[in-house]
């Protein structure tokens, strides 16, 4: 769906902030995928992801401060706030997943984890594309549809990973650890879908 903001004075700074957040999220998701690509996981990526999370927090803060200072915004204030919060939630979930892997001293990546992290990376790349389309007033629906498809794909991968975990592992501590890691990886794709829903809501309002 294409849309118009012609009757709004443009404030491109908001779009710049959102795109910078999306870039940080995409980079962090890539590092999470790289982290789980090896046995044992490359936990040096945890601090790099944490740095990206701090930068994303700063961008969220800047967005909210700008909301307080700007008299006329490019679209509704509650949508700007919802978009900033939803993006921050994605980054927080990526950071949490990375921290869990290090905290639980994971030494061998179990089946399903790499598939999930690849889906996470793909979802964040599509988020980046959706925000770019929003800024350029181009159709966002193809990106939102793909994010939704990836979330469904992550659901299936998550269920398969849990089934394999319960079928093949007998150590209850290991099961608890990996269940939480899988939960968090799947949650990232849920959070990406939440961002896509906010973006689609903006387009519907201003279409």
Residue 147 maps to which CATH number? 1.20.58.220
Q: 45, 31 in Cβ contact below 8 A?
A: yes
Task: Evaluate whether residue 6 is within a structural domain.
Answer: no
**CA-angle at 163, arms to 158 and 184, nearest 5°:** 30
Helices (H) and strands (E) in the chain, counts: 6, 0
Task: Evaluate whether residue 17 is within a structural domain.
Answer: yes
For residue range 53-85, what is the model confidence (pLDDT) as tens digits? 999 999 999 999 988 887 667 778 899 999 999
Task: Evaluate whether residue 140 is within a structural domain.
Answer: yes
Task: Evaluate whether residue 103 is within a structural domain.
Answer: yes
**pLDDT value of position 55:** 98
Number of domains in the chain: 1
Task: Evaluate whether residue 7 is within a structural domain.
Answer: no
Q: Say which residue the tokens 């961002």 belong to.
A: 195
Q: Which domain holds residue 41?
A: 12-206
Instruction: Please tell me the distance from the alpha carbon of residue 34 to that of residue 201, in angstroms, as a whole number.
Output: 33
**pLDDT value of position 10:** 52
Query: Terminal CA-to-CA distance of the chain, rounded, Å?
Result: 8
Task: Evaluate whether residue 1 is within a structural domain.
Answer: no
**pLDDT value of position 11:** 58
Q: Which of 74-78, 159-163, 173-177 is predicted least confidently?
A: 74-78
Task: Evaluate whether residue 69 is within a structural domain.
Answer: yes
Of 8 and 10, more confident: 10
Other residues' Cβ atoms within 10 Å of the Cβ of residue 77:
11
């Amino acid at each position: 769906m294409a849309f118009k903001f012609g009757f709004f004075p443009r404030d491109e700074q908001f779009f710049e902030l959102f795109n910078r957040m999306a870039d940080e999220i995409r980079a962090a998701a890539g590092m999470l995928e790289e982290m789980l690509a090896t046995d044992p996981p490359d936990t040096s990526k945890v601090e790099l992801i944490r740095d990206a999370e701090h930068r994303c927090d700063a961008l969220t803060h800047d967005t909210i401060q700008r909301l307080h200072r700007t008299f006329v915004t490019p679209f509704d204030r509650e949508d700007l706030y919802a978009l900033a919060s939803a993006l921050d939630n994605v980054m927080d979930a990526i950071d949490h997943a990375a921290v869990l892997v290090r905290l639980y001293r994971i030494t061998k990546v179990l089946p399903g984890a790499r598939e999930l992290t690849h889906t996470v990376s793909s979802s964040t790349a599509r988020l980046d594309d959706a925000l770019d389309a929003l800024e350029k007033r181009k159709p966002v629906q193809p990106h939102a549809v793909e994010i939704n498809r990836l979330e469904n794909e992550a659901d299936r991968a998550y269920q398969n990973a849990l089934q394999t975990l319960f079928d093949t592992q007998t150590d209850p501590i290991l099961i608890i650890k990996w269940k939480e890691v899988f939960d968090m990886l799947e949650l990232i794709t849920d959070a990406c879908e939440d961002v896509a829903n906010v973006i689609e809501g903006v387009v519907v309002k201003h279409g």
